[in-house]
Each structure stands twice: as C-alpha cells, then as structure tokens.
Structure 1
Amino acid sequence: MASWELEKLGLRDDVDLHVYEVPVEYQTVQRLIPALWKKHSPQLVVHVGVSGMATTVTLEKCGHNVGYKGLDNCRFCPGSQCCVEGGPECIDSIIDMDTVCKRVSALGLDVTVTISKDAGRYLCDFTYYTSLYQSRGRSAFVHVPPLGKPYTAEQLGRALQAIIEEMLDVLEHSEDKINCQHEH
C-alpha cells in the first residue's frame, strides 16, 4: 500500500509521521478518527484511500455529510445515512488543493495529480468528513488507483511524500498570513 511506502520514505526531519490503517467500517471510523485527533493533536491528517475507478492521484477538496447508503465490511450502514447529524452538508479542507496540485505537478514526478469535489459517499468520504468535522478543516484526503494500475507502490509513495510536504508548506504559509493579519 502507498501509505506503507510513504512510511519507509518518511517526510522531512521536522515532521512526525504516524501511519494507521482504518478499517472499512462506519462505526470504527466514528470511534477511531476522534481518538487519533485527541491522541496526537496533529497539525494535519492526510487520509489515503484506494479507488478502483481512479487512474490518477486525486486530491479531494471536501467531505460530505449525507448520502451514505452502501454497506461496510461489517454489512452495516448508518440508519441516518449521515456522518454527523445536524452537521453541515459539506466541509472543505483548509488546504488549497489547487495550489498543491499545481506545485506537485510542476515537480515532474511520473504521476498525474488531479482534483475532485466528490470522494464517493462511501467509507473514504465518510472518513474524510468525520476528520474534517473533528479538525475544523485541518484534514486532507488523497485517492490513489490500485497498485499497478498504473503506478507502482514506490511511485505512489513518492507522490504522497511530495503531496504531504506541499500541503504542510501551504498550511504553514496560510497560518503565517493569518498571524500577520492579527498582529496589525
């Protein structure tokens, strides 16, 4: 999996990387994602999911609250068909995915990176929304194609490494701007 390849490659020295496998189960996601945020208080959480339909590495801009009808690996589906009852319909990541996409594409990696506004109303979207809600937008989601279709684990690992480093850079610069505005 691309995430394990990223764990081997690592990120820049000032970043602590924690990699977790999240089961394809609604109830586990609802329990695990808040617990991970509480345990680590991360600057950013980047979720990675495999999409059989993906042919590119896809940066998801937002997560959706409603429309979850598919059964998970435990044959469960939330009765409300939503992540957070009463939550907003859609939550955007605070990361500017267009900027990240342009920057990573300019690096000349042998991987195509694209943008999406629909993570699919299944466990990927459910996980993303849950994390965005928990973090007030300090999350990202990257969809990758299945291994070998067309990219190797190493190619995906290097792409994720570049994407996450750009996301952290974009996040740090946007926070610098916010801090400057507050000082005046």
Structure 2
Amino acid sequence: MTPTPPPASPAIPRRRRVLVCGFGPFPGMPSNPSSRLATALGRLARPALGDVEVVVRLLPTTWEAVAEAPALLDEVQPDAILLLGVAGRRRQVCVETLAFNRAADAPDALRRHPPARALAAGAPARLTTTAHPGRLLHALRKVPARLSRDAGRYLCNAVYFRMLLALRDKSVPLVFVHIPGAPRLGVAAYDAALASAVGNLMVALAAQMPWGATRGARP
C-alpha cells in the first residue's frame, strides 16, 4: 500500500516590494540628485511601511538603459514602482500623470541619440499613471509640489512610458516624480527635505499596492 504523502505546507506570501529608480549623471547635471534621493529612500525606516521591502536601482542615463529598464519587472517583481528624475528648471516637486510615446532628439550621457522619435512603434501616443496621483500629491503637502501633465521627452519620460507599457495588464501602481535641481548651497538640507517629503509619498504609494502579497496582510 502506497503511503499517503503529507499535506503540503501553505506557501508563505513574500514581502511586498517597492522598486525605486533614480538616474545617474547626464550632460548639464554632473551630480544627479535623483540617485541620492533613491539611495536615501532605500534606507528609510517608517513604521507605516511595515515589512515592505524597498529595492533601489540606479539607471545609467542612456537611451539604451532606458529601453532595457522593463527587465527590472522580472528581476525585482515589484508591487509598486517609484521612478525619480530631476528637472533642473522646476521649482516644485512634480508628480507626473502622463508619459508620451515620443523621444526628443537629444544626446544621453554617452552622447548618443535615440534610435527613433517614437519610443514604441504601434503603442498609444500617451499612457497614464497607474497610481492615484491626488493622494500622492497630498503626501507632499509639506513641500512645494504639484501635479504635472508633461514629463518632457527626454529619458525621464522614456523610462516612464516604457515601464507603463510593460505593466498595461498588471495592477501595479507606478508613478514618476520629478524633483527640482539641487541648489548650489545647502545641498545637505535640500537632500534631507526631499528624502522626508518623498518618503511620505513612497508610504502613500505603498498603501496603494494590492493586498495579499505580504505576511500578515489584511483587507
């Protein structure tokens, strides 16, 4: 008589993950504050995050790296995504609500230009954030901030569009946030203020993740 195998142990749900991406330097921006901010968010300790894991990736500022960024979805398997970039001429933190299927003919950090003006042939002309931007803006209420409908047509917009396109059939909140360029003086205070404010936004983004992918999850 063949013995009955023991019942399988129930699978332990993995921790939920937030993927945070910043950019490296590019022409005109030798030190990119988005990379410092992403690194700071990776060290952030907030009780509201619970056991959420924050995974940080710093992207080379090239058209090629942006095209390959969706591979991070398989590598990290994030439950929410926060993309960060710098907009040197802006004076507010901008929560970007749209990404466009268009690339400016501008050189990257390797002085290379995009291979085509359309980021993805046959794809929609624009895609909308999968997060709730109003709630994220509320989390930024302690710093000058606004919603934006123009992420530019450079690498920030490109990575945003490609990631949104790759996630079209998934329930993963994804948003891009532009931060102002760092002042020449008071960089440490600037970094600390941004880490605190955007840390609040990251907590708000994590709250938008679907339940069920973490220990102790509850509706």
TM range (shorter): 0.7 to 0.9
**Uncovered stretches (5+) of structure 1, i.e. residues with no partner:** 174-179
Matched with 1:119 is 151
Q: Deviations over 1:90-146 (max 9, x none)?
A: 0101112123213432xxx3x112110111100100111111111227421011112
Gaps of 5+ in 2: 1-35, 212-218
Q: 2:198 aligns with which of 156, 160, 172?
A: 160
Aligned to 2:43: 8
Describe the SS at the equivalent of 1:19.
Answer: strand
Q: CA deviation at 1:77?
A: 2.0
| Mean Cα deviation higher: 65-74 or 53-62 | 65-74
Q: Deviations over 1:10-40 (max 9, x none)?
A: 4513211011111110111111x12210111
Paired letter, 1:153: D
Of 93, 111, 114, the match for 1:75: 111
Deviations 1:41-61 (Å, cap 9, x if unpaired)?
Answer: 111111110110121111000
User: Is it true that 1:37 corresponds to 2:73 in the alignment?
Assistant: yes
Residues 138-174 of structure 1: per-residue CA shift (max 9 Å, x gap): 421011112237861111111111011112224449x
Does the Cα contact within 8 Å between 1:100 and 1:170 map onto a contact in 2?
Answer: no
Residue equivalent to 2:182: 147
Taking the aligned partners of 1:39 and 1:77, their CA distance within structure 2 comes to: 27
3-state DSSP class of the match of 1:83?
Answer: coil
1:34 and 1:103 map into 2 onto residues whose CA distance is: 27
Counterpart position of 1:177: none
Q: Which moved more, 1:123-132 or 1:68-77?
A: 68-77
- 1:132 is aligned to 2:164: yes
Where relative contact order (Cα < 8 A, 6+ residues apart) is larger, the structure is 1
Equivalences, count: 169
Retained in 1: the 8 A contact 2:61–2:108? yes
Say which SS state the counterpart of residue 46 (structure 1) adopts: strand
Which SS does the other structure have where 1:98 is aligned?
helix
AA in 2 matched with 1:132 = L
Distance 1:143 1:159, change over 3 A: same
C-alpha separation in 2, matches of 1:10 and 1:70 = 38
Which of 35, 39, 54 is 1:17 aligned to? 54
Taking structure 1 as the reference length, the TM-score comes to: 0.83
What is the aligned-residue identity percentage? 24
Which residue pairs with 1:101 in the alignment?
137
- Find the residue that maps to 1:17 and give its secondary structure: strand
Q: TM-score scaled to structure 2, two decimals?
A: 0.70
Rounded to whole Å, the distance in 1 between the matches of 2:74 and 2:149 is 27
Conserved 8 A contact 1:63-1:125: yes
**Structure-1 separation of matches of 2:161 and 2:45:** 26
